[in-house]
A and B are shown apart, each in its own frame.
Chain A
Amino acid sequence: MYEFKYHRPATVRQAANLLLKNEDAKLIAGGHTLLPVMKQRLASPPHLVDLSHIDGLGGIEIKGRSLVIGATAKHAEVATSAIVGEALPALAELASLIGDPAVRHKGTIGGSLANNDPTADYPAAVMALGATIVTNKRRLKPEEFFQGLFTTALEPDEIITKVMFPIAKKAAYIKFRNQASRYALVGVFVAKRPSDVRFAVTGAGADGVFRVTAFEEALSKRFNSKALDGIHVHAEGLNSDLHGSAEYRAHLIGVLAKRAVDAANGKA
């Protein structure tokens, strides 16, 4: 790891100023993506701005019809929060499947979203639930926020402060883990919202998280796994690597989609 200067701001505004003043400065939250990358010298930020001492940045609360999760909320906190368990149990379940217990004690939702790893779990929930990503500058819809592999709409001095998840009527996340890394080989999130159904896939897309509109249309008419009979996802545009071919991933999406709908209907 190369040398860097370490900063510990007490407010989001201070953190943003540090990012503006110091070229190539990077935020650090849980450090469970950034530190491994820095050890490999794939990143060498001259300044690290630690978010973990900013009060109130990791809260979890219900506001109106939304579940609001602060950027520095850790995966373990989301997984065990009574508020999340009540409002969106599928999201608590998703958080409980990330990495291992020690990873969940440090990794944060803000860090996961900012990183936009194509095999990360949270992007599927944010996309399917139609969550709003709130930064120190603006509010972003998932379709604007996620911009392809490891790429987001975030500007260099922009900080995610919270994520607002509209509460769905029914939802479920089903993850098929890569046996070695335990990241998602394919993960699917289905959400039956008051006015529509959204379905998002992580792990499979060559460009990161994406929606499957054919599934959404069929499920909007009838929210039952049988509604998906005969509808297939094309392998085109999906990842192919030593863990699985694009065709295998396309097949998995269909299988997991049915399981997800059954789970959302309480039939798992």
Chain B
Amino acid sequence: MAKISLIVNGNPVTANVDPRTLLVQFLRENLRLTGTHVGCDTSQCGACVVHLDGKAVKSCTTLAVMADGHEVRTIEGLAADGAPLHPMQEAFRENHGLQCGFCTPGMIMTAVDLVHRKGHDLGDHTIREELEGNLCRCTGYQNIVLSIAAGAKAMANSDLA
């Protein structure tokens, strides 16, 4: 077993884990943060995307021990419980950016990272290129792209990053 200490959604967490524990398993099974999904487990679909030190990564392809000493943010960390949704979440709701919702946490975490890197005015082409690592089996992407463009704009006027 390996001892790890990290910050998850602002809270310090310490645990003993088998080194082969994936970050996504640790989040879901140890911390019960089940908003992060496992779609493929082969690094393709992006349902498992979380932020590691502020950058989008696939938590199915990261060991929990590799997050030791680092900061992780999951979909649960975007807005406080009971508080208004994060603007990117709200944009997905407004624009019908989801059907079954399985891919949505990964889409939103990828989108928020995209806004942090490329700003609030995102063109259709940029958004589609940046969604390379996120698969949706329901929506046909059209409304996901609309949601991200709207969420990106809304983030400019929000306290939530």
| Chain A residues near B (Cβ < 8 Å) | 1-6, 8, 31-32, 35-36, 39, 48, 50, 52, 76, 99-103, 105-106, 182
A36 touches B20 (CB 8 A): no
What is the interface of chain A mostly: helix, strand, loop, or mixed? mixed
* B147 CB contacts on chain A under 8 angstroms: none
- List chain A residues, Cβ under 8 A from B66: 31, 50, 52
CB <8 Å contact, B132 and A100 = yes
Are A99 and B42 interface neighbours, CB within 8 A?
no
Contacts across chains A and B counted by CB atoms under 8 Å: 67
Minimum Cβ distance to chain B for residue A185 (Å)? 16
Chain A nearest CB from B103 CB (Å) reads: 14
B residues 120-144 touching A (CB-CB < 8 Å): 130, 132-134
Cβ-defined contact, A105 with B46, below 8 A: no
Interface-located stretch among B54-62, B74-82, B152-160 = B54-62
Is B2 positioned at the interface, with any CB of A under 8 Å from its CB? yes
Given A4-B19, A31-B62, A105:B57 Cβ within 8 A: yes
Measured CA separation A182–B46 after assembly (Å): 15
Chain A residue at minimum C-beta to C-beta distance from B131: A100
Q: Give Cα distance in the complex from A76 to B133, angstroms.
A: 14
- Chain B residues lying within 8 Å of A182, measured Cβ to Cβ, are 132
Judge if B145 is at the interface, Cβ distance under 8 Å: no
Q: Within the complex, what minimum Cβ distance (angstroms) separates B133 from chain A? A: 3
Q: How far is the CB of B12 from chain A (nearest CB, A)?
A: 20
Chain A proximity of B134: nearest CB distance (Å): 8
The smallest beta-carbon distance between B116 and chain A, in angstroms, is 11
Instruction: Give the one of B18, B19, B52 with max A CB within 10 A.
Output: B19
For residue A84, give the distance in angstroms from its CB to the closest CB of chain B.
Answer: 17
CA distance A102 to B114 in the complex (A): 10
Give the residue name and chain of the A residue nearest to B43 (CB).
A36
Q: Is the CB of B133 within 8 A of A99?
A: yes
Which one of A2, A3, A6, A101 lies within 8 Å of B133 (CB-CB)? A101
8 A Cβ contacts from B42-71 to A: 42-43, 46, 49, 52, 55-58, 61-63, 65-66
Which of B18, B61, B65, B133 meets A36, CB within 8 Å?
A: B61
Q: 1/0 contact trace for B79-120 toward A, CB 8 Å?
A: 000000000000000000000000000000010011001000
With a cutoff of 8 Å between Cβ atoms, the chain A residues found around residue B49 in the complex are: 102
Alpha-carbon distance A8/B113, docked complex (angstroms): 28
The 3 closest A-B pairs by CB, nearest first: A100-B133, A6-B19, A100-B132
Contact of B18 with A106 in the complex, beta carbons under 8 Å: no
Q: Which residues on B sit within 8 Å (CB–CB) of A103? A: 43, 58, 133
Instruction: Judge whether B110 and A32 touch: CB under 8 Å.
Output: no
- Report yes or no: B61 in contact with A106, Cβ–Cβ below 8 A: yes
User: Is A101 a contact of B114 with CB atoms below 8 Å?
Assistant: yes
A48 to B134, CA, bound (A): 29
Whether B41 and A39, one on each chain, are in contact in the complex, defined by CB atoms closer than 8 angstroms, is yes
Q: Contacts A6-B2, A36-B61, A50-B66 hold; do A102 and B133 have CB atoms under 8 A apart?
A: yes
Q: Can you name the residue of chain A whose Cβ is closest to the Cβ of B132?
A: A100
What CA separation (Å) do A140 and B110 show in the bound complex? 38
Q: Does B20 contact A4, Cβ atoms closer than 8 Å? A: yes
Task: Report whether A101 and B58 are in contact in the complex, using a CB–CB cutoff of 8 Å.
Answer: no
Report B137 CB to chain A, min CB distance, Å.
15
Q: Shortest CB–CB separation between residue B24 and chain A, in angstroms? A: 11
Residues from chain B with a CB closer than 8 A to the CB of A52 are: 66
CA A36 to CA B22, docked complex, whole Å: 11
Q: Nearest A residue to B52 by beta-carbon distance?
A: A105
* A3: chain B residues within 8 A (beta carbon): 18-20
17 inter-chain pairs at a CB distance below 8 angstroms, sorted by A residue, are: A2-B20, A4-B20, A32-B43, A32-B61, A35-B22, A35-B62, A36-B42, A76-B55, A99-B132, A100-B132, A101-B113, A102-B49, A102-B58, A103-B58, A105-B52, A105-B57, A106-B58
